Structure 1
Amino acid sequence: MEFLSLLLLAVALAMDSFAVSITVGLSIKKIKFNPVGKVCLLFAFFQGIMPVIGWALGQSFADAISAYDHWVVFALLLFIGGKMLYEAFQYNESAPFVNAYNNKTITMLAIATSIDALAVGISFSLLNVDIVMPAIVIGIVTFIFSHLGIAIGWKLGSIFRNKMEIIGGILLIGIGIKILIEHLLQ
């Protein structure tokens, strides 16, 4: 997988964490390492580990679907991107802010925002992509975007929350289309 595609994929996956981080930023009175560091590290960890888990799962059934794996990858990315777009347009202004000081809440959000990365890991497995570099890049990008999201939430409020999910959804759908076209033209 070329680095630019990997970077765009990592950015797209980080958009859920970014959007939630904006909400976390809204609840923080003063930017300090704790809870900012805790939120960023948890989001990055789960975004980085979920593709590895998905990749391992995909390895177990990759041979059975190798003839149409590009369609499966396309469908997964289309679904994830479409889900992100749907959620962005279902945005609720009155949604409660996320309490950045509640460890259980932050951990559950970190897991929930990384489920998409699990499906992407399955896609990587089907495409025979080595998982180490993507997992690292996805984790680092998520850490950076989570930190930016908290800072933006702290400074600008809820202006950007759903717009980032729209961008992430469009990027995932675009990458899915690119993969499908590449495989169909081979």
Structure 2
Amino acid sequence: MTDATLHAGQFATLLIMAVALGMDAFSLGIGIGLKGIRLRDVLRLSTIIAVFHVIMPLGGIYAGHFVSGLLGHVATMAAGVLLLLLGGHMIYSSLKGESVQSIDYRSSVGTFLFAFSVSIDSFSVGVTLGMFEADILLTVLLFGFFGGLMSVLGLLLGRRVSENLGGYGEALGGAILLIFGLLFIF
């Protein structure tokens, strides 16, 4: 394979993962949007979520580099298992109806708790990507952009549609991570 093919494949993988991780922000954004949210709050909350979608995977990538050095050749299997567990948890949570929608996003502490809660999955995926020496700048830019974009879309869409779409969005994101986990293992 040529370098261009490898870079295109890595970009496509990171793009799909960024969208999958943004589904959590999207689905929970719908729940908040259903309760009513001002446009100024949509912008504020989405910006903070985007920042967390940069910080969390960045920390995860550095942790992944460390873990990769410890695990050596077992890192690929560990990364695949981590994605399987994360994807399965996202699907389980969405089907069970668990969410953090009770957090008051209007307060500073609530905003940060909400942003942290929808970005924590990015840390785990960052650990996996760190084991594979993924492009750090491309990863954090894609994750941040799609974390912010998906939260804006969820918040705005929540103002107009039913609550059922949110759970399906998170389940879809979990299914995508499950597929990548299986690909890494096999």
TM-score (norm 2): 0.88
Corresponding residue of 1:8: 16
TM superposition shift of 1:100: 3.9
TM superposition shift of 1:98: 5.2
Deviations 1:81-105 (A, max 9, x none): 0000110111169x86654422321
Which of 148, 153, 161 is matched with 1:156 structurally? 161
Corresponding residue of 1:28: 36
5+ residue gaps, structure 2: 1-8
Corresponding residue of 1:122: 127
Shift of the 172–17 alpha-carbon distance from structure 1 to 2, 3 Å rule, reads same
1:72 is the counterpart of 2:78: yes
Aligned pairs, number: 178
Q: What is the alpha-carbon distance in structure 2 between the residues aligned to residue 110 and residue 8 of structure 1?
A: 21
Deviations 1:109-131 (A, max 9, x none): 11111111111111111111121
Contact 1:12–1:172 at 8 Å: present in 2 too?
Answer: yes
Q: What is the alpha-carbon distance in structure 1 between the residues aligned to residue 70 and residue 123 of structure 2?
A: 19
Contact 1:69–1:126 at 8 Å: present in 2 too?
Answer: yes
Contact 1:66–1:126 at 8 Å: present in 2 too?
Answer: no
TM superposition shift of 1:28: 2.0
Which of 30, 44, 54 is matched with 1:48 structurally? 54
Letter in 1 for 2:135: D
5+ residue gaps, structure 1: 182-186
Alignment of 1:157-176 (within 5 A): 157-176=162-181
TM-score (norm 1): 0.88
The Cα RMSD (Å) is: 1.9
1:91 is the counterpart of 2:112: no
Q: What is the alpha-carbon distance in structure 2 between the residues aligned to residue 58 and residue 78 of structure 1?
A: 16
Letter in 1 for 2:141: I
Q: What is the alpha-carbon distance in structure 2 between the residues aligned to residue 171 and residue 27 of structure 1?
A: 28
Contact 2:67–2:75 at 8 Å: present in 1 too?
Answer: no
